[in-house]
Chains A and B, each alone.
Chain A
Amino acid sequence: MKPIETKKEYQDYVDKKSPNSPIIKNCFNAFWVGGLICSIGQLIFDFCKFRGLDVQTSNTIVSIILIGIAAFLTGLNLFNKIGKFAGAGSLVPITGFANSIVSPAMEYKSEGYVMGVGGKMFTVAGPVLVFGISASIIVGIVYLIFNTASITLV
């Protein structure tokens, strides 16, 4: 091997030397856990529909129940184990959003309920709301521009 002189050479060398994640295994686990979580959601959805609720209400109930389950598992110190096993399989569904709100709330409890739990709750999930809500407003405004007929301004 040649001596490494530049940062570029070193970065390339390190990229080569660093172990890769077992991506096939990770993807497989992410697939079935993610699919399973969605299927549980579907089951709840079907049940709501079966009881005669409309689509929007059913979807909201699905979200709330899945978030509740994820929060409960996080509180039992189990969600990080699932997350470690499933990766994106538990991160990408709404359960990951719930976990990313509940875990800092628990972690920063030691800094008090107001500045700790309250203040730090959105350290991980905050960006999701910031970008999600901002994007929805932009989408709305763009929609309004392209459908000028519907402009009523309040």
Chain B
Amino acid sequence: MEFFQSIDWMQMLRCFVVGGLICIIGQILIDKTKLTPARILVIFVTTGCVLGGLGLYQYLVDFAGCGATVPLTGFGNLLAKGAIEEIGKSGLLGAFIGGTKAAAGGISAAVFFGYIASLISKPKMKKQ
């Protein structure tokens, strides 16, 4: 209960709106261009990476929290931020370590859950 009282609902609203708006950009790309899902994901991750490298994406993260970190642009930002932070610690080597290190949790989780899902489940026909 104490936790629910601690939630900043304005923050939640900003998160909802910004996250939704980023998805709208993706939807317009889907409907207006003939890009495949893989290409759209690549565009988002690369954009996030560049904005992150320029330090601009952090403003959006500060404003919207998970509304900016959960979309794939946030994943790109995470990679760029990780690389830059690690450079501070270990120089050039950091550029190669930092990005993947920062994103390791997400990547490993996706691989692991993908493997588990393939063990226990099989594809089924779309009914609709």
Instruction: Tell me the complex Cα distance, A34–B28, Å.
Output: 14
Instruction: Tell me the complex Cα distance, A117–B75, Å.
Output: 24
Contact B27–A26 (Cβ < 8 Å): yes
Instruction: Tell me the complex Cα distance, A38–B73, Å.
Output: 13
Contact A105–B126 (Cβ < 8 Å): no
Contact residue among A46, A59, A68, A128 (Cβ-Cβ distance under 8 Å from B7): A46
**Chain B contacts for A47, CB-based, 8 A:** 3
Contact B79–A135 (Cβ < 8 Å): yes
B28: min CB distance to chain A, Å: 7
Give the interface residue-count category, chain B: 35 or more
Contact A136–B80 (Cβ < 8 Å): yes
Which residue of chain A is the closest to B73 with respect to CB atoms? A92
Given contacts A45-B66, A88-B24, A92-B26, contact A38 B18 (CB under 8 A): yes
Q: Say yes or no: is A4 at the interface (Cβ < 8 Å to chain B).
A: no
Contact with A along B13-28 (1 / 0, CB 8 A): 0011111111111111
Contact A105–B42 (Cβ < 8 Å): no
A111: min CB distance to chain B, Å: 11
Given contacts A129-B107, A151-B92, contact A23 B32 (CB under 8 A): yes
Known: A71-B117, A131-B46. 12 other contacts (CB 8 A): A23-B28, A34-B20, A34-B22, A34-B26, A38-B70, A41-B70, A62-B70, A72-B113, A88-B27, A136-B100, A140-B99, A154-B90
Q: Say yes or no: is A53 at the interface (Cβ < 8 Å to chain B).
A: no
Given contacts A39-B12, A59-B78, A125-B41, contact A109 B118 (CB under 8 A): yes
Instruction: Tell me the complex Cα distance, A142–B83, Å.
Output: 11
**Chain A contacts for B74, CB-based, 8 A:** 94
Tally of A-B Cβ pairs under 8 angstroms: 313
Contact A151–B126 (Cβ < 8 Å): no
Contact with B along A65-90 (1 / 0, CB 8 A): 01110011011110011001011110
Contact A50–B3 (Cβ < 8 Å): yes
Instruction: Tell me the complex Cα distance, A136–B84, Å.
Output: 8
Which residue of chain A is the closest to B52 with respect to CB atoms? A139
Which residue of chain B is the closest to A90 with respect to CB atoms? B23
Which residue of chain B is the closest to A46 with respect to CB atoms? B7
Contact A133–B99 (Cβ < 8 Å): yes
Contact residue among A23, A84, A91 (Cβ-Cβ distance under 8 Å from B40): A91
Contact B106–A67 (Cβ < 8 Å): yes
**Chain A contacts for B117, CB-based, 8 A:** 71-72, 74-75, 102, 105-106
Q: Say yes or no: is A141 at the interface (Cβ < 8 Å to chain B).
A: yes
- A residues 88-139 touching B (CB-CB < 8 Å): 88-89, 91-94, 96-98, 100-103, 105-107, 109, 113, 117, 121, 124-125, 127-129, 131-133, 135-137, 139
